[in-house]
Each structure stands twice: as structure tokens, then as C-alpha cells.
């Protein structure tokens, strides 16, 4: 009996996770999960179930119905859904996509609503309303309205520009065109007008506009080749094939117009590799699967045209279902800034309340007894204090800086353009510039702790290149001359002009191998390249006189292309023959059997009849499986193994090649078993694999190939730099484990010293930890389940490699199988309570297990998750965000990366590939992975430093400005009178102090871009939030408070007993206001000068220009002329000219400025001398580093040869090849043979090799 504890966490423990299988999607049906159970209903039961399903193929729950060429079919009430009250809408989505937020009618109300959701904007709206109440207003209404309109206007313009760009992108996609049958004929129609059930025609090199059922095509048996780069970044072609009945009957336009088939299938979901449905037509039902569906985003290749029926459109397509929810992303600094604004509002309310209480007390003690203060209003002191509370809220409103948000937006906008304009992030090959697709996340680029990267198309180019080989124990591929000596000029490539079939793009530098091939003295070399030319499932076609290959994987294409260049050219094939040009001589061979690759076998073989009638098996596969099947006497076994070690250390993907001769009798016996297995109705794959094992033995080793899975330029250097910046890099890919591990070594994410932890070991570690936590938790479910000790002891470099199946197992994400026949009885309240408690405890343990996994993974320097679904990629990112509270970045290039890109704090798309889905969903995009280091270490770090410096200074200058009112209150009876002129209050943040700090936020840099890249450790400041936090905020508050004290009390003391040159005392309120304001302007502008690290002419001009602007406007506003025009608005007539001609006041201002700034200068000097930051040290030595850089050359990475037992991945596709397709003959354009030739061939039983020169 299973204990209660065990039952809590046993979600589905009926099988060991399979590393080769991509796990199920979250949308899988229970029937599919039942079908996955191993050993369910074996033998007769299985057969009877198959028979039952064949009688009723629509038995499964297929609630999505699509009728061809009948739009009225979708008007039935059953296909409507209620959207609001009695309003109903069709459940079938239109094909138009919409990513924009506004239209001309909704822009103004929606945008204003969004802007007033910001606390500061709403606060100032309330303030404006308060200022319109005469009893409490202490400032003119325009002091708030002008800055508020400026803020709302600038933000609205930016939002409008962003949304117009979205409209343009949507229109570009929605207005693409294709042919749709309307009124019995094909008519050109825009994508947005395509509807479910439409019959469409697609031409070569066009994108598929919706998820469609393939009906027919121009190819034999209605094959259709598609490229899925937009979905998964892979550029190798995949094929789809129509049903035989639609292929035969639906080729003509009239037949397609009359087609009235009904498709019943699964509801729209996110499974890219699954489809279940049934086509009902002409009183027959036909089963449909994923091989008959073309997905939106695919591109038609090598197929002149094809016809299809729209099944899912627009938002219902699988590519859109995989894109995940669009999340509103905000930076960490944004959140912190909001909390600080709330803090300021609380402080403001408390100060206003304190000052209002002070006014109440003052009124009771002094105001009531002072006849000269009587204002003809008999109000109680308490009521006067209440009115003054609101008055102080208005006076002190500048503590909450209204221009803060608009200034932040301007800085981010400018920084985004700096990213767009960066020529060092421009990828000339694809004419692709870096693009900041959002303007709100720039400073977050300087705080990244975890990077989640796709592999195919992101780290790699998905281009395989034949680099080296080992034949008969001899290694080839190093740069050697024709005599076998190493070349002094390694860049000299082999000239393949002697070969008419040579591919001009193929590069090889070993001239010695070419001489050996041409001489014909080494039969093993001839066999080696003959094997590469004959043992594959590649298909050839000729267009414009050029021979082109279509391979199931880029690896196979690279091997066949290599053989082609070395003189062994695969030309064509039929169902049972293959034609090869061997050093200019064409020969056709009978192919007796193709033993196809799969992920369990890790090899493929062909059996051919050679000249003279002898039969030979050629095989290629991973060294681990080939070496087990070699003949005991293989003299070159050790030499080849050494070569494999060398290739592995150079991170090349290896394959072993071998052969064996088969007697006629042995082949006939084996062929009978092969035919029987091929005709098996159940467990066909297992039966075939067993038969293959019988013939693939006692093999003779020929050698090994080494293929380079080409990384993008600069990937290892980028990863190395980012690692030095304390950024952890996780690779999340759908590729096989071996391929992903090999790329890990190629890009130096893994090294020879790295200890790798796999799924099984990880599961055991986590299970042990969970058991220990349970034991510690005891019987109380509320006790702490945390354990802080590390999973791994010692400081060894570690990496985690885990597959999607193990990920589901470890994170307890496996689905429970429903029990079919379960009698349900009414449960008592106690049973319900037990069930709820059991479920709650299971969730708690699941959460703990997930946290433990994240803790374990984060102890590793690198993590590689392979064979994962798009949803799992997003789940891994979400787990790190949830349990580590870390800032994450996801980078990818395909639609399968969109969910991950949207989930991470920052999403980056690789543009310039065929696929643009990732780019459209990303926050930033560029052409190559290597630009990520510049985006983070230069632009990200600078943006973070600039924003932090801007915010610290902004809070400081506003506190220094506002708190003067508080000190003044102690001398004016707490009457809420302002210490400055109204126009100074209005323009202080808008004109007098805004430009210098804006320029620092846009242009400042502590060290240059080159030094930022050279010293990645500078980046950690942002990760640790060292430059802007609550401590820095309160220091700015304190600094501002001290400055305000000096600004107020030094002029106050100077004015107490002073006498001007003309014998008059300049101690009036207006002169004092001008003196304090002038001192403040000098102090805050000189302070930003001290904070500036990178001086330009523009910075200097802004500082001195702001001071000059202040005096210009002040003298203007204090002139008699403007007072005559607007007597109520300008009341400081003549104040500035009279006050500022007194030397005494200038000395007072100089004293105030000196006392404010000298301590700051002293503190900066001491900190740079005694406690310098890393950036200070680098800045001090920048000249030395510049000289070093001029002399420095990039060091070549050195491989450790012969010290590793690691093997790089076998070079095969992730799925079966085209063997079934070739064997069926469906892909071959058949020519009718003469009858006598057919009879002669059947009479002889087997054909001889045919040879032509």
C-alpha cells in the first residue's frame, strides 16, 4: 500500500523520462496521454482497439468543424459565443492580426487614462483641482497646469509614434496577398480577408497565411516542401504530403471550387508538432495528422504551387497560440521610483500636517491678538489650520517632481536612438541594424543576471561544414600541400575546378587528400567518399542547370556536398536505384534496402548491389553505436579512435563510416524478415529496429567524418565576457542532448574542467533534499521547508544538462492519467477537507521541489535544457524570476522562442533571418548574438549609470528647492507663504535646472565603450543595485535638506543687520526671495557639473546657459514693462535690478555656494583617493590601457588535444529521414518504362550495375 506521503508527490511515475523525446504540451488531451502509457492494452487488445478506431476515426473529441467553400456554415448558432450580454460573435477568428493599442477614436481617452494611472500624474491632477479652490490656493493655477500639460503632451506623442509603428507593421502583414477561391475562381485576396474554410493557392517562396490542410501540389503525390525558419529558426527543408484522395481529385480549379469536405479536428492549441482530425468527403472519412498541415509562418520552397483549406486563422493559428500573453514590462528602477514617490507623498502629508498644527497654535497664541492681521473672516484657529494643511500640500507639491517622469521618458527615448544608431551593432551582411523596439527598458539592460538563449539560429548559423576526416587511420583536413607537408600559407584553399559538379562555396585546405583521390591508389579513400555519396536519404533536383540537394538535416546535406566536391557526386535516385558520378563516371546502383536513422539507433545504413552482383551494406552513425558492432579484427580501430578524440576536442561533430559484404543467401533470409516487419500493423518501428540489428554487425571500419556546426561569429568571446560580468547563461533548445552539449563546448560554455550533471543525477539530488526537508519539517505543514546548504561541495566548475522529459519529472509537471471507470460517491465534509489538505500539501511540495531545482541550477555556471517545448522555455524563465527575484533576458530567433521572450524581463530577437516572429515580440533586436555584449556591457551599463545619476540628482535638486519653504514657515507664522516668486516656482524644473541633468542622463559615461568591454566586472554595480536604492534616495534627501538650510539661513543671517550702499536695508521679502533663488540656481547647476564624468561642449553650455537663462528671464519678469501689461501676474517689479546691484548680496551668494559645494568637492576627492571605485581606477589609467589596446592582438583559443574522452554529437537529423518517402516512391517523378524492359528485369530478379562514361 502506498503511503500518504508518497501519494502526494507521485504525479506520474510509470516510466523513466526519455532524453530523445520532446515532452507533451500543456494542451494535450487525456486520450493522447492515455496513448502514451507504456504497455497499455498489448497484443490482441491493442489490435481490437486499432480496428475499433479505424471504424470510427472521429471517435475522439474533435469539436472544431470546418466546411470547405461554405461561409454560411459558420453562421449556425452553435458556432457563436457570447462576448457581452446578448452580443454574440463567431468562435472562428478572422485572419487579421492586431498588435496596436489605439485607434483614432480611442487614442485620447485611453492614453489619458493610462497616463493618469501613474501616481504622480494623478497626484498633480488632484493638485490642479485644489489650486482652483480660492480658499486654500497659495499658488497660481498655471504653476501646475503648464508642467502637467508638457508631461502629458510629450508622453502622448511618444505613445502615438510607437503605436503608428505597430499599425504599419500590422498593415504590412495583413495586406500581403494570396489567391483564394471566390465565386468558383481563384482571386487575389489580402491575408486579412481570408476566412476559415477558404481554399487558397500558394506559390513558391511565399509565406503560409494561416494553418491550412494541404490538398494538392505541383509535386508528385502532392508533396510540399516547407521551410520553418520563422517557427524554429531551422533552415533545412521539411516535407508535407496531402491525402491520396485529395491529390487525385483536387488538382483543377473547378474541382477545388466544388470541394465540400468537412474537417472535424481538435480545438486551436499551441502544439506545433501535433494535429488530430478527420476529413469527411464523399461518404468516407480520412484520418489527418500534422504531416498534412502547413502552419502559418512556414515558407513554401521547391514547390511551384500548392492548394490548401484554411483550418485555423489569425489568433487561432499555432504560431499565435505559442506567442504567449503580451506582458506589460517595467524596469526595477521604475518600481523603485514609484515606491519613492509614494514615500515622498507620505512625507509631504506629514510635513503639511505638522505645519498646519503649527499654524493652528500660532493663530491661538499670536494671530488672534494681533489686530493688524485681521482679515475680516472670523474663522477658528483649527479651521484656519485645516485650510493651511491644503495650502502646504500645494506649496510643497514640488517635492513630488512632476517633470521626473517626462525627463525619464526623454532620456530613455534618446538612449534608444543611441542603440539604433550604433554602427558597431550593424550587421552589414544582412543589412540589419540594431533596433530598440521599446523605449522603457534601457536601464534594465545594465542589471541582467541571467540570460536564456535559444541555440539554433541564435548561437549557431545552422550551417554545417565538412572540416576534417579520418580514412584508414590517417587524418585529413589540416592545411597541407600535395606532398603532405604542412603549408606555410594556410589560407590557400584547394582548387576544385577539375570537378564540373563542384560547389563553389565549399572550402578545403588539405591538398594532399585531393592528390590521394586523384591518384586512385587508396581504395579505402574511394570507398569512404562512395559511402558518403550513397548512404543517405538526400533528394536531388536540378534547377537552372544547377544540382541542388534537399536533406532532412543540414548535417546530411554537408556530407553529401563534401562527397560531391571530392568527385563522388550523388545525381539522382528512383524508388530502388541511385545514380552517382564517380570521378566523372556515371553509375547506377540498385538500392535493396534503406535502414533509416532514428534517435534510438543513432545510425543509418543502405544495402546496395554492386557490379558483379555482390551485395554490400554501407553504414554511418555515432561512434558509440558503431564501435559496438565492429568486426573483432579492425586494425585501424585505435587510430580512428584517436582521431575522434582530436575532432571532439576541436568541438567538431563526428560520424563513423563502415561497411560489410553480405552473401546472397544471407540477404535473402534477412530480406524475408525485413518485408514481414515492414508490413506489421502494430509496433512496426520496434520490429524493424530488431531486424536491422541482425544485419548491422561485423562491420569493417572505414574512418570518421568531422563536421563543424558553425557558430555565429564571436559567440565564444561574447559568452566569456558576459560570464566575467557575473551573468549566468542558460541555453534552452529543442535539439537533442548530444547536439546541445556539443554546442556548449563549441561556444566555451562548457570546458574540459566542467563537471556535468545530468537529469538522473539531478533528480536523485533533489529527491534526497526533499526527503531531508520533509524530515525536518516534521508533522507540521507550516514549518519551514528551506535548507540553505549548497547541493555541491567544493569550488569545481559545474554545469547542468537536462532534457524536457526530465524537467517535467523533476518539477512534478507530469499529468495524471484519468481513471476511465470510477464510481463517484458523495463525499463527507471530512473527506473533502482531507482531499483539500492533501492537494494543498502536494502543491506545497511541488513548489518546494521547483525552488530546490532553481537553487541547484543556479549553483551551476551553465545550464543547458534540451528537447524542451516553447512552454517549458517560458516556464524555466518564470521559475528563475519567481524564486531568484533576478533580472532575466531571453534571446531567440524563432516563433518557438516568443513565449520565452515575452516572459523574461527583457526579450531580444535575432533579426535578419527568415523568421521575424521573435523580432516582432522582442524589446530589442539585432543581427548577431555577438552584439549582445555591446548591448549589455556598453549601452545597458551606461543607461543604468546615467539613469541612477539622473534620479539621485533630480531628487536632490527638488528637495533643496522645496524644503526652503519649510524653514521660511518658522518666520511667517506657518502661513503657507512661498519663499520664492510664483514664476520661479513654475519655471525651476522646466527651464532653470532641467537641461544639464537631461544631458547627463543622455551623454554621461564613466569609462569609454572599449574599456567597458575590456573590463566586464564593471557591470556588477547594476546587478547589485548599488547606484540607486533607498539608501541613495535618503542620502539625496539629506543632501537636499542641508543645501536648503544653507540657501535659507545664510541669506537670512546676512539680511538681519545689513545696510546697502545707498543706506537702505535690502532686507525686504522680495529681495530675499531673489537672493535665495539665485543662490539655489548656482548651487544646483554647479552640483551637476561636479556629478558629470564626461564633459562635452554641450554639457558646459547647458550649465552656464541655464544660469544665464535664469538671470535673463528674471530681469525680464521684474521689469516695469511686463508689470504694466500684466499687473496681477508680475508683482516683483524692479526687485532683481535693485537687489543684484548690491555687492553685499553677491558676497552672500558666493558664501552660500561655497558652503554648499566645498564639502562635496572634499568628499569626492577623498573617496577617489582613498576608496576609489573600479571605474575610477580604470579612468585614471585609461591612457595606459589605450596604448596597450593598440599593441594587443586577439589570442587564438587553444584546444587541449587528446585529453578528453568526450565525443561530439553524431551528425543526423532529429527525426527520421526521407527513407520511407524514397522507398514508397512518392517523391519520384516516374517515367513509364517499356514493357519488355519490365519483363526482362523481373526475369533476372536483380539488376546489374549500369555504367556510362
pLDDT in tens, 378-392: 678 888 888 888 888
Q: Residue 136: CA atoms inside 13 Å, Cβ hemisphere, count?
A: 21
Burial status of residue 18 (CB atoms within 10 A of its CB: 0-12, 13-18, 19 or more): middle
- Spatial separation of the C-alpha atoms in residues 513 and 517, rounded to whole Å: 6
Burial 666-681 (b: 16+ CB within 10 A, else e): ebeebeeebeebeeee
- pLDDT for position 456: 77
pLDDT in tens, 864-873: 998 888 888 8
Query: Pseudo-torsion of CA 206, 209, 213, 216, nearest 10°?
Result: -30
Is the pLDDT at 155 greater than 70? The verdict is yes
Identify the residue with better confidence: 254 or 1126: 254
- pLDDT for position 367: 63
Identify which of 1005, 976, 800 has the alpha carbon closest to the alpha carbon of residue 352: 976
pLDDT interval class at 538 (50, 70, 90): confident
Is the pLDDT at 489 greater than 70? The verdict is no
CB 578, CB 1216: distance < 8 Å:
no
Three-state SS across 864-884? EEECCCHHHHHHHHHHHHHHH
Identify which of 743, 721, 745, 738 has the alpha carbon closest to the alpha carbon of residue 1200: 745
Distance, CA of 47 to chain centre: 46
Average pLDDT score, the chain: 81
Main-chain phi, psi angles of 563, to 5 degrees: -60, -40
pLDDT in tens, 386-432: 888 888 888 888 887 777 877 888 899 899 999 999 999 999 888 88
pLDDT in tens, 1013-1029: 988 999 999 999 889 99
pLDDT interval class at 43 (50, 70, 90): very low
- pLDDT for position 574: 80
Mean pLDDT of 979-1001: 88
Percent of the chain with pLDDT over 70: 84
Identify which of 746, 755, 555, 556 has the alpha carbon closest to the alpha carbon of residue 648: 746
Identify which of 386, 431, 441 has the alpha carbon closest to the alpha carbon of residue 408: 441
Q: Which residues pair with 376 in a beta bridge?
A: none
Identify the residue with better confidence: 120 or 42: 120
- pLDDT for position 703: 93
Mean pLDDT of 1054-1070: 67
Burial 326-335 (b: 16+ CB within 10 A, else e): eeebebbbbe
- Spatial separation of the C-alpha atoms in residues 59 and 413, rounded to whole Å: 57
- pLDDT for position 1001: 93
Identify the residue with better confidence: 158 or 1220: 158
CB 582, CB 530: distance < 8 Å:
yes
- Spatial separation of the C-alpha atoms in residues 796 and 800, rounded to whole Å: 13
- pLDDT for position 1202: 40
Main-chain phi, psi angles of 794, to 5 degrees: 85, 170
- Spatial separation of the C-alpha atoms in residues 256 and 216, rounded to whole Å: 10
Identify which of 8, 6, 16, 7 has the alpha carbon closest to the alpha carbon of residue 809: 16
C-alpha cell belonging to residue 84: 457581452
Mean pLDDT of 29-38: 39
The whole-model pTM stands at 0.78
- pLDDT for position 46: 39
- Spatial separation of the C-alpha atoms in residues 822 and 810, rounded to whole Å: 29
- pLDDT for position 1200: 40
pLDDT in tens, 178-206: 999 988 899 999 998 999 999 999 998 89
pLDDT interval class at 319 (50, 70, 90): confident
Between β-strands 862-866 and 435-436, what pairing exists: parallel, antiparallel or unpaired? Answer: unpaired
pLDDT interval class at 324 (50, 70, 90): low
Task: Determine the 3-state secondary structure of 1251 from DSSP.
Answer: strand
Is the pLDDT at 739 greater than 80? The verdict is no
Identify the residue with better confidence: 1237 or 653: 653
C-alpha cell belonging to residue 903: 516572459
Identify which of 1129, 1120, 1116, 1084 has the alpha carbon closest to the alpha carbon of residue 1103: 1084
Q: Catalytic site residues?
A: 454
Main-chain phi, psi angles of 91, to 5 degrees: -75, -10
Identify which of 1249, 1250, 1227 has the alpha carbon closest to the alpha carbon of residue 541: 1227
User: Rounded to a whole number, what is the largest CA-CA distance in the chain?
Assistant: 135
Identify which of 673, 679, 726, 651 has the alpha carbon closest to the alpha carbon of residue 887: 726
pLDDT in tens, 1112-1122: 999 888 887 77
pLDDT in tens, 557-597: 899 999 999 999 999 888 788 999 998 899 999 999 988 88
CA distances from 649 to 90, 643, 750, 1194, 1208 (A): 59, 10, 12, 21, 8
CB 910, CB 928: distance < 8 Å:
yes
Main-chain phi, psi angles of 1061, to 5 degrees: -60, -30
- Spatial separation of the C-alpha atoms in residues 679 and 673, rounded to whole Å: 10
pLDDT interval class at 93 (50, 70, 90): confident
Is the pLDDT at 783 greater than 80? The verdict is no
Is the pLDDT at 54 greater than 50? The verdict is no
Is the pLDDT at 20 greater than 70? The verdict is no
Contacts of 960 (CB under 8 A, 6+ apart): 1039, 1040, 1041, 1043, 1044, 1047, 1080, 1083, 1084
pLDDT interval class at 785 (50, 70, 90): very low
pLDDT in tens, 1143-1199: 888 999 999 999 999 999 999 899 888 888 877 787 777 777 777 766 654 444 444
Distance, CA of 428 to chain centre: 22
pLDDT in tens, 270-305: 777 788 888 999 888 888 888 899 999 888 987 889
- Spatial separation of the C-alpha atoms in residues 736 and 804, rounded to whole Å: 10
Amino acid at each position: 500500500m502506498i503511503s500518504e506521503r508518497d501519494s502526494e508527490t507521485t504525479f506520474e511515475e510509470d516510466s523513466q523520462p526519455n532524453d530523445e523525446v520532446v515532452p507533451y504540451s500543456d494542451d494535450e488531451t487525456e486520450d493522447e496521454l492515455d496513448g502514451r502509457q507504456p504497455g497499455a492494452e498489448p497484443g490482441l487488445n491493442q489490435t481490437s482497439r486499432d480496428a475499433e478506431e479505424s471504424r470510427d476515426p472521429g471517435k475522439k473529441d474533435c469539436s472544431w468543424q470546418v466546411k470547405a467553400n461554405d461561409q454560411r456554415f459558420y453562421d449556425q448558432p452553435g458556432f457563436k459565443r457570447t462576448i457581452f450580454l446578448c452580443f454574440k460573435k463567431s468562435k472562428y477568428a478572422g485572419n487579421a492580426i492586431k498588435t496596436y493599442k489605439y485607434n483614432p477614436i480611442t487614442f485620447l481617452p485611453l492614453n489619458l487614462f493610462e497616463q493618469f494611472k501613474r501616481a504622480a500624474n494623478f497626484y498633480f491632477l488632484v493638485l490642479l483641482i485644489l489650486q482652483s479652490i480660492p480658499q486654500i490656493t497659495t499658488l497660481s493655477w498655471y504653476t501646475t497646469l503648464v508642467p502637467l500639460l508638457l508631461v502629458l503632451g510629450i508622453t502622448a506623442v511618444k505613445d502615438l509614434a510607437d503605436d503608428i509603428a505597430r499599425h504599419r507593421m500590422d498593415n504590412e502583414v495583413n495586406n500581403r496577398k494570396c489567391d483564394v477561391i471566390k465565386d468558383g475562381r481563384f482571386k487575389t485576396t489580402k491575408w486579412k480577408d481570408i476566412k476559415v474554410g477558404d481554399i487558397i493557392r500558394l506559390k513558391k517562396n511565399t509565406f503560409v497565411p494561416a494553418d491550412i490542410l494541404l490538398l494538392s501540389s505541383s509535386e508528385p503525390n502532392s508533396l510540399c516542401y516547407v521551410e520553418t525558419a520563422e517557427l524554429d529558426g531551422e533552415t533545412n527543408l521539411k516535407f508535407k504530403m496531402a491525402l491520396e484522395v485529395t491529390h487525385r481529385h483536387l488538382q483543377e480549379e473547378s474541382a477545388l471550387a466544388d470541394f465540400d469536405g468537412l474537417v472535424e479536428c481538435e480545438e486551436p492549441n499551441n502544439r506545433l508538432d501535433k494535429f488530430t482530425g478527420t476529413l469527411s468527403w464523399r461518404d468516407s472519412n480520412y484520418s489527418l495528422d500534422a504531416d498534412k498541415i502547413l502552419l502559418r509562418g512556414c515558407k513554401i520552397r521547391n514547390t511551384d504551387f500548392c492548394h490548401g483549406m484554411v483550418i485555423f486563422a489569425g489568433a487561432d493559428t499555432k504560431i499565435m497560440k505559442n506567442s504567449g500573453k503580451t506582458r506589460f514590462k517595467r524596469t526595477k528602477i521604475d518600481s523603485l521610483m514609484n515606491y519613492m514617490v509614494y514615500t515622498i507623498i507620505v512625507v509631504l502629508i506629514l510635513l503639511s500636517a505638522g505645519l498646519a498644527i503649527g499654524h493652528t497654535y500660532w493663530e491661538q497664541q499670536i494671530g488672534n491678538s494681533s489686530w493688524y492681521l485681521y482679515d475680516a473672516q472670523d474663522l477658528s484657529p483649527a479651521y484656519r489650520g485645516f485650510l493651511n494643511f491644503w495650502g502646504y500640500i500645494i506649496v510643497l507639491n514640488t517635492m513630488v517632481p512632476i517633470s521626473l517622469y517626462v525627463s525619464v521618458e526623454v532620456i530613455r527615448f534618446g538612449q534608444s536612438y543611441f542603440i539604433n544608431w550604433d554602427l558597431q551593432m550593424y550587421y552589414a551582411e544582412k543589412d540589419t541594424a540594431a533596433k530598440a523596439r521599446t523605449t522603457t527598458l534601457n536601464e534594465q539592460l545594465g542589471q541582467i543576471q541571467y540570460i536564456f538563449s535559444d541555440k539554433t539560429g541564435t548561437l549557431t548559423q545552422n550551417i554545417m561544414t565538412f572540416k576534417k576526416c579520418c580514412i584508414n587511420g590517417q587524418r585529413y583536413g589540416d592545411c597541407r600541400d600535395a606532398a603532405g607537408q604542412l603549408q606555410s600559407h594556410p589560407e590557400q584553399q584547394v582548387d576544385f575546378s577539375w570537378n564540373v559538379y563542384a560547389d563553389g562555396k565549399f572550402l578545403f585546405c588539405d591538398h594532399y587528400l585531393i592528390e590521394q583521390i586523384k591518384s586512385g591508389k587508396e581504395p579505402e579513400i574511394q570507398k569512404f567518399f562512395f559511402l558518403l555519396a550513397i548512404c543517405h536519404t538526400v533528394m536531388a533536383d536540378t534547377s537552372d542547370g544547377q544540382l541542388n540537394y534537399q536533406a532532412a538535416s543540414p548535417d546530411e546535406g554537408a556530407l553529401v556536398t563534401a562527397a560531391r566536391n571530392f568527385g563522388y557526386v550523388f545525381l539522382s535516385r528512383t524508388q530502388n536505384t541511385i545514380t552517382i558520378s564517380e570521378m566523372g563516371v556515371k553509375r547506377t546502383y540498385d538500392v535493396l534496402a534503406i535502414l533509416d536513422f532514428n534517435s534510438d539507433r543513432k545510425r543509418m545504413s543502405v544495402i546496395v548491389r554492386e557490379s558483379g552482383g555482390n551485395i554490400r551494406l554501407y553504414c554511418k552513425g555515432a561512434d558509440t553505436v558503431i564501435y559496438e558492432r565492429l568486426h573483432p579484427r579492425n586494425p585501424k580501430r585505435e587510430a580512428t579512435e584517436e582521431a575522434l578524440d582530436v575532432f571532439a576536442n576541436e568541438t567538431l561533430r563526428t560520424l563513423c563510416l563502415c561497411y560489410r559484404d553480405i552473401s546472397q543467401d544471407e540477404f535473402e533470409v534477412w530480406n524475408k524478415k525485413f518485408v514481414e516487419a515492414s508490413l506489421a500493423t502494430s509496433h512496426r518501428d520496434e520490429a524493424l529496429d530488431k531486424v536491422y540489428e541482425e544485419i548491422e554487425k561485423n562491420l569493417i571500419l572505414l574512418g570518421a567524418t568531422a563536421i563543424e556546426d558553425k557558430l555565429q561569429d564571436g559567440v565564444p568571446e561574447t559568452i566569456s565576457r558576459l560570464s566575467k560580468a557575473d551573468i549566468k547563461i542558460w541555453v534552452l533548445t529543442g535539439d537533442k542532448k548530444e547536439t546541445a552539449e556539443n554546442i556548449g563546448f563549441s561556444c566555451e560554455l562548457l570546458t574540459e574542467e566542467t563537471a556535468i550533471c545530468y537529469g538522473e543525477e539531478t533528480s536523485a539530488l533533489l529527491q534526497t533534499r526533499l526527503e531531508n526537508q520533509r524530515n525536518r519539517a516534521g508533522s507540521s505543514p507550516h514549518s519551514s521547508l528551506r535548507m540553505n546548504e549548497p547541493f555541491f561541495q567544493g569550488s569545481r566548475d559545474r554545469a547542468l544538462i537536462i532534457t524536457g522529459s526530465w524537467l517535467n519529472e523533476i518539477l512534478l509537471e507530469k499529468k495524471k492519467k484519468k481513471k476511465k471507470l470510477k464510481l463517484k460517491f458523495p463525499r463527507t465534509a471530512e473527506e473533502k477537507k482531507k482531499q483539500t489538505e492533501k492537494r494543498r500539501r502536494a502543491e506545497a511540495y511541488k513548489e518546494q521541489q521547483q525552488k530546490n531545482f532553481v537553487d541547484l541550477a543556479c549553483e551551476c555556471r551553465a545550464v543547458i535544457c534540451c528537447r524542451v517545448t516553447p512552454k517549458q522555455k517560458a516556464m524555466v524563465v518564470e521559475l528563475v524570476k519567481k524564486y531568484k527575484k533576478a533580472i532575466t533576458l531571453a534571446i531567440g530567433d524563432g516563433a518557438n522562442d516568443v513565449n520565452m521572450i515575452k516572459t523574461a524581463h527583457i526579450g531580444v530577437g535575432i533579426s535578419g533571418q527568415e523568421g521575424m516572429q521573435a523580432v516582432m515580440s522582442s524589446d530589442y533586436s539585432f543581427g548577431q548574438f555577438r552584439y549582445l555584449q555591446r548591448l549589455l556591457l556598453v549601452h545597458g551599463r551606461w543607461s543604468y549609470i546615467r539613469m541612477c545619476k539622473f534620479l539621485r540628482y533630480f531628487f536632490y535638486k527638488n528637495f533643496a528647492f522645496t524644503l526652503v519653504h519649510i524653514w521660511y514657515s518658522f518666520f511667517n507664522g506657518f502661513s503657507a507663504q512661498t519663499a520664492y516668486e510664483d514664476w520661479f516656482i513654475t519655471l525651476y524644473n522646466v527651464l532653470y535646472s532641467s537641461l544639464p541633468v537631461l544631458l547627463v542622463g543622455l551623454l554621461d559615461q564613466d569609462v569609454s565603450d572599449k574599456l567597458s568591454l575590456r573590463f566586464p566586472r564593471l557591470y556588477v554595480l547594476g546587478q547589485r543595485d548599488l547606484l540607486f536604492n533607498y539608501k541613495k534616495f535618503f542620502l539625496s534627501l539629506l543632501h537636499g535638506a542641508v543645501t536648503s538650510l544653507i540657501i535659507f539661513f545664510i541669506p537670512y543671517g546676512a539680511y538681519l543687520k545689513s545696510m546697502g550702499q545707498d543706506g537702505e536695508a535690502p532686507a525686504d521679502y522680495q529681495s530675499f526671495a531673489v537672493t535665495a533663488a539665485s543662490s539655489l540656481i548656482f548651487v544646483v547647476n554647479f552640483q551637476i557639473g561636479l556629478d558629470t564624468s564626461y564633459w562635452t561642449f554641450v554639457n558646459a553650455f547647458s550649465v552656464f546657459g541655464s544660469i544665464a537663462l535664469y538671470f535673463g528671464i528674471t530681469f525680464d519678469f521684474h521689469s516695469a514693462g511686463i508689470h504694466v501689461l500684466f499687473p496681477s501676474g508680475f508683482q516683483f517689479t524692479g526687485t532683481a535690478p535693485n537687489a543684484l546691484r548690491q555687492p553685499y548680496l553677491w558676497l552672500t551668494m558666493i558664501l552660500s555656494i561655497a558652503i554648499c559645494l566645498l564639502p562635496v568637492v572634499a568628499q569626492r576627492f577623498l573617496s577617489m583617493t582613498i576608496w576609489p571605485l573600479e571605474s575610477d581606477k580604470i579612468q585614471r589609467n585609461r591612457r595606459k590601457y589605450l596604448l596597450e589596446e593598440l599593441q594587443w592582438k586577439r589570442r587564438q583559443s587553444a584546444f587541449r588535444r587528446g585529453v578528453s574522452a568526450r565525443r561530439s554529437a553524431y551528425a543526423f537529423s532529429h527525426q527520421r529521414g526521407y527513407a520511407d518517402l524514397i522507398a514508397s516512391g512518392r517523391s519520384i517523378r516516374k517515367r513509364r518504362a517499356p514493357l519488355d524492359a519490365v519483363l526482362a528485369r523481373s526475369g533476372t530478379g536483380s539488376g546489374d550495375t549500369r555504367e556510362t562514361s
